[in-house]
């Protein structure tokens, strides 16, 4: 079995800055939720009704989003 040897601490690593910059520029912009995730009015209604009284992790599984995403949306809706 081949094992990858870890780099020694403080070992300089060569980075192709142009490739790195292109890779970073190709990343999606920041926004709440997974890329392409859109809240529907029905999802908002479910979130408002059940977020304070049901298991939040289970709600998120059913909605298809993370707890942070749902929490941020709930806070946005209840401001």
In a domain, 32, yes or no: no
In a domain, 25, yes or no: no
Task: Please report how the helices 41-50 and 67-77 are oriented relative to each other, as an axis angle in degrees rounded to 10.
Answer: 90
Q: Which domain holds residue 50?
A: 37-79
Nearest one of 28, 36, 35, 33 to 73, comparing CA atoms: 33
The yes-or-no verdict on residue 71 having pLDDT over 70 is yes
pLDDT at 42: 95
Report the alpha-carbon distance of residue 65 to residue 58 in Å, rounded. Answer: 10
The number of distinct structural domains making up the chain is: 1
Tens digits of residue pLDDT in 2-50: 666 666 777 776 777 888 888 888 876 666 555 667 899 999 999 999 9
Tens digits of residue pLDDT in 46-58: 999 999 999 999 9
In a domain, 42, yes or no: yes
């Amino acid at each position: 079995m081949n094992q990858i040897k870890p780099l020694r601490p403080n070992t300089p690593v060569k980075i192709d800055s142009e490739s790195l910059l292109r890779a970073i520029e190709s990343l999606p912009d920041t926004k709440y939720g997974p890329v392409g995730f859109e809240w529907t009015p029905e999802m908002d209604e479910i979130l408002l009704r059940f977020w304070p009284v049901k298991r939040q992790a289970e709600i998120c599984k059913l909605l298809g989003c993370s707890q942070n995403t749902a929490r941020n949306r709930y806070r946005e809706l209840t401001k």
